[in-house]
Amino acid sequence: MDRWFPYLKIFLSYAVALILCFFFLKILLNFDVVESFRRASAFLRGWKRWNLSLFDIFYWAFHNTIEFSVWLGIPVAFLFLLGIIYGVKSHSLKRNSCCFHFTIALFLSFLLLLFFGTTKGEVARLYLFFVPAVCIVSVNGLRLMFPDRLRKALAGLLFLQIVTTFLLKSFQDFY
- pLDDT tens digit sequence for 142-152: 777 777 887 77
Q: In the chain, what percentage of residues exceed pLDDT 90? A: 1
Average pLDDT over residues 166-172: 70
pLDDT at 55: 85
**Mean of all residue pLDDT scores within the chain:** 77
For 105-150, the pLDDT digits (tens) are: 888 888 888 887 667 777 767 777 777 788 878 877 777 777 788 7
Q: Is 121 helix (H, G, I), strand (E, B) or coil?
A: coil
pLDDT at 80: 86
How far is 9 from 6, CA to CA, in rounded Å?
5
Q: How confident is residue 175, by pLDDT bands cut at 50, 70 and 90?
A: very low
Sign of CA dihedral 77, 137, 9, 32: negative
User: What pTM was estimated for this model as a whole?
Assistant: 0.62
Which residues are within 8 A (CB) of 73 and not within 5 positions of it... i.e. 6 or more apart? 160, 161, 164, 165
Q: In the chain, what percentage of residues exceed pLDDT 70? A: 81
Which residues are within 8 A (CB) of 158 and not within 5 positions of it... i.e. 6 or more apart? none
Q: Is 172 helix (H, G, I), strand (E, B) or coil?
A: coil
Average pLDDT over residues 47-56: 72
How far is 50 from 77, CA to CA, in rounded Å?
27
How far is 21 from 27, CA to CA, in rounded Å?
10
